[in-house]
Amino acid sequence: MSTSLQTTSYERDDVRWNPKGYYERYDGRKYWRKLCVVENCSKRAKTLSWCKRHYTEEKQKQERGEGDPNICLEPQRRQSKHNYQRYDIRINKKGIREQFDGKDHWRELCLIPTCTKRAKKLAFCKRHFTEQIKQETN
């Protein structure tokens, strides 16, 4: 009786969903690299979970006054809690969107950029988590 262990062989540029709530691509050697959080972008994430192109675009939009004023591209440091208002949104050091609850806590938001509901499972709100599971089973 022989017991064989099933090993998974990955090819370069294979993409997988990471349980931490983001996509990553295999580099062909030994590392999985985090991908940009912008939908349909397959570039490697560099800054705040965005590729260089999307980060630069968002930064330029904010400089022109066209970007979402609730998204902060610079990590928040040394600011008093009184500077925040309820429902303020920021991107933390890990590149995750968070919303201030008005009571000294930042709550993670759904991974979908247009959704402002709190994250529940695998960085998704209940609705988008259910959609993700249905999409993966098809």
Q: Tell me: the pLDDT tens digits for 17-68?
A: 887 778 888 988 888 888 888 888 889 888 778 888 988 888 888 778 776 6
pTM over 0.95: no
- How high is the pLDDT of residue 72? 65
Per residue in 70-100, pLDDT (tens digit) is 666 665 554 444 578 888 888 888 888 899 8
**Cα-flanking dihedrals φ and ψ of residue 62, to 5°?**
-65, -35
In the block, residue with structure tokens 């090819």: 11
One-letter amino acid at 53 equals R
Measured CA to CA, the distance from residue 99 to residue 87 in angstroms comes to 6
123 near 111, Cβ under 8 Å? yes
Close Cβ partners of 91 (under 8 Å, ≥ 6 residues apart) = 48, 49, 71, 72, 73, 97, 98
pLDDT at 30: 85
Q: Name which residue leads in pLDDT, 61 or 126.
A: 126
Residue 81 is predicted with a pLDDT of 46
CA distance 131 to 102: 30
The pLDDT, as a whole number, for residue 49 is 81
The predicted structure's pLDDT at residue 108? 92
pLDDT at 118 over 70: yes
